[in-house]
Amino acid sequence: MNVPVLQADIHKGGYQESDVVQDIALEVYPGELVGLLGPNGAGKSTTIKSLLGILPKFEGSIEIKDYAYIPERPIYYEGWTLYEHFTFLFSTLEESFPEEKVGALLHEFGLYDMRHHYPERFSKGMQQKGMILLSLLRRPDVYIIDEPFMGLDPKAVKRFLTMVKEEQKRGAGVLMSTHVLDTAEKICDRFILMAEGKIIASGTMEEIRRASGLPEASLFDCFDALT
């Protein structure tokens, strides 16, 4: 039996004043892509923060293997070039720096000429691409990705999706929150649909259709019916 790369049982999670999410149980298995969906304010980012152990109020249990987190808003060290982020990553991994591979990935994502520049001056999409490359090179057991599609141009989305697929083949699990439901429907193995801090439906596309009472519907229409 496969062992999950991520297993969470969140009884309660929130901020100083109030609980935002309740009774969120989720699992991600090796090679699986799970979509975390829900309207604005449903609690997706709060759920992700609890998985990362950075939520101020939390009751429950989280078991997670080696992970990489790709935030919705990219975060870089001030005063470091993009390339310095890559060299720093490999110093923490105690692996020799794969210069050729890093160069090839930077080329592929159109960041090679920018590699000695400061990411804080990049466009949002360029910053996001840098974050994606940093996490890919880490080769984690599980990726936690918060809304990856908003800042990326169509070519970058295509490359990103190809890489996600390759990482799944390697055995990595992925939990990805998104509002882009037509893409989610195509790529996710399972879905977790949240509203008002709780899970309102979860499972495969078939199970989501059954829960929404719409046997032929798209994920978009199921989402609309359920939320």
The residues that touch ligand ATP, with contacts defined as CB under 6 A, are 15, 20, 38, 40-46
* CB of residue 108 to ligand ATP, shortest distance in Å: 29
CB of 159 to ligand ATP, least distance (A): 24
Query: How far is residue 53's CA from residue 186's CA, in Å, rounded to a whole number?
Result: 30
Tell me how far, at minimum, the Cβ of 45 lies from ligand ATP, in Å.
3
Looking at the Cβ atoms of 163 and 195, the one nearer to ligand ATP is: 195
Using DSSP's 3-state secondary structure scheme, residue 16 falls into coil
Nearer to ligand ATP, 40 or 96 (CB): 40
- For residues 111 and 134, give the distance between their C-alpha atoms in angstroms, rounded to a whole number: 12
Q: Which is nearer to ligand ATP, 41 or 171 (CB)?
A: 41
The conformation of residue 119, written as its DSSP 8-state character, comes to G
β-strand pairing of 198-203 with 190-195: antiparallel
Q: Which of 4, 163, 3, 207 is nearest to 70 (CA)?
A: 163
* Minimum CB distance to ligand ATP, residue 217 (Å): 22
With respect to ligand ATP, which residue has the nearer C-beta, 43 or 140?
Answer: 43
Question: Measured from the CB atom, is 11 or 138 closer to ligand ATP?
Answer: 11
Alpha-carbon distance of 122 to 58, in angstroms, equals 35
Nearest distance from C-beta of residue 140 to ligand ATP, angstroms: 22
